[in-house]
C-alpha cells in the first residue's frame, strides 16, 4: 500500500497545481481564478486519507517539488498491504508507525 507523508517541519499541504489535479481526479471542477490561495471550501487537505489512491497518483505524477505546499516536502511511502498504521506528527514532520489491530 502507498501513502503520502510530509518529510519536513512545517506541515502537510498541497500546492495549487496538486489541488487542481486532485480535484480533477475526484471529478470536481475548480473554476480558474475563483480560489486565489489554498484549497476550495469543499476540500480540506488535512482530511484527505493519506492512502487515497488519487492523492498518491497526484504526488507520483507531479513529483514532490510541484505537489508539495509551501511548508511541505511530501513523499510517497510504501508499506506492506494489510498493515495497520498511523501517522505521527511533530511540528509538521511526519512518520509512519505500525500499529497492532
Partners of 77 in the β-ladder: 3
Residue in 10, 9, 13, 3 with CA at minimum distance from that of residue 96: 3
User: What pTM value is reported for the model?
Assistant: 0.87
* Higher per-residue pLDDT: 53 or 19: 53
Q: Please state the domain extents for the chain.
A: 2-98
Residue in 44, 20, 16 with CA at minimum distance from that of residue 30: 20
Per-residue pLDDT band at 28 (split at 50, 70, 90): confident
Amino acid at each position: 500500500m502507498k501513502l503520502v507523508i510530509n518529510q519536513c517541519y512545517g506541515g502537510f499541504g498541497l500546492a495549487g497545481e496538486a489541488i487542481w489535479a486532485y480535484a480533477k481526479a475526484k471529478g470536481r471542477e475548480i473554476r480558474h481564478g475563483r480560489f486565489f490561495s489554498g484549497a476550495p471550501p469543499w476540500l480540506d487537505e488535512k482530511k484527505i486519507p493519506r492512502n487515497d489512491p488519487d492523492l498518491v497518483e497526484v504526488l507520483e505524477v507531479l513529483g514532490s517539488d510541484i505537489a508539495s505546499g509551501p511548508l511541505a516536502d511530501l513523499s510517497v511511502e510504501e508499506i506492506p498491504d494489510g498493515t495497520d498504521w498511523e501517522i505521527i506528527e511533530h511540528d509538521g514532520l511526519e512518520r509512519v508507525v505500525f500499529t497492532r489491530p
